[in-house]
Amino acid sequence: MNQPPHDQLPDDAAASPEESAGAQHDLLPAALSGFDLTAGLQRLQGNRVLYIKLLGRFAGDYSAIGDEIEQAIEAGDRRQAHALVHNLKGLAGNLSATDLFAAARTLDEAVKSDAAEPARLHAAFMVLRTALDEALTSARSVLPPDEPTVRETAEVDLPKSQALELVRRIREAIDLGDVMSIHESAAALAGDTPYTARIGELADAFDFDGLLSLADEMEQKANR
């Protein structure tokens, strides 16, 4: 964990893919405001490059979620507010963004309660907004190069038993919020196919809805 600050790294030397991966390790500082790096890395089995990648996805994909939650609360759409906050809470937990997770849990409980007064919702949202801004700022500080967008899955057939087992593991891992397990299951059961790439990209983006849709698609195809 005692890596040199990234402003001490050389920025003018061409690097091989292996050297680039090593440089990404150094982009992760010894401490990151709003995050428990020790817990976050333990969750990902010490994979520092993947953790940086997930922080980058968070910074890119969740920059507007604070506004979306605020708009839902102001519109009185508690169902939408709950969906957004619940999703953010799961993401914060996976990244070990401790302050953000605690704030999202408090707001999640408030939006689910019919008895919660608007003032309580507003106060809980402001705490979340502060924690979210801090987490986004920290994540941007280690932002990796732009990631590729999710690709469409090419037509490919997996053996039925293999496909259904992969579907089962994906759904189980989503329930647990276990991103690493999703990667491992895809590699073991889908091998070198477009499914593995797509599943990996959806998992890295914490797009659990997308993963569930893909699992449904795979199940339907396997049962034809």
E strand or H helix at 216: helix 208-222
pLDDT surpassing 50 at residue 90: yes
Could you tell me if 190 and 181 are in contact, meaning their C-beta atoms sit under 8 angstroms apart?
Answer: no
pLDDT at residue 156, rounded to an integer: 57
Of 129, 37, 146, nearest in space to 84 by CA: 129
pLDDT at 15 over 80: no
The 10s digit of each residue's pLDDT in 133-142 is 999 999 988 8
Can you tell me the distance from the alpha carbon of 45 to that of 197, in angstroms, rounded to the nearest whole number?
Answer: 20
**Predicted local distance difference test score (pLDDT) of residue 125:** 94
pLDDT, residue 13, reads: 33
Q: How far apart are CA 6 and CA 93, in angstroms?
A: 26
Q: Considering the domain 28-147 in this protein, what is its CATH number?
A: 1.20.120
pLDDT tens profile 104-122: 999 999 988 877 788 888 9
Alpha-carbon distance of 37 to 62, in angstroms, equals 19
Non-local (6+) Cβ contacts of 140 within 8 A are 59
Distance CA 42, CA 54 (A): 14
Q: How far apart, in whole angstroms, are the C-alpha atoms of residue 12 and residue 63?
A: 30
Kindly list the domain boundaries of the chain, sorted by start residue: 28-147, 160-222
Q: What's the pLDDT band for 214 if we cut at 50, 70, 90?
A: confident
Phi, psi of 34, rounded to the nearest 5 degrees: 95, -10
Residues 31 and 3 sit within 8 Å (Cβ to Cβ)? no
Please tell me which residue, 17 or 131, carries the higher pLDDT value. 131
For residue 129, pLDDT beyond 50: yes
Instruction: Give the pLDDT of residue 113.
Output: 82
Rounded mean pLDDT, 80-101: 92
Q: What is the mean pLDDT of residues 166-187?
A: 88
CB contact at 8 A, 198 and 151: yes
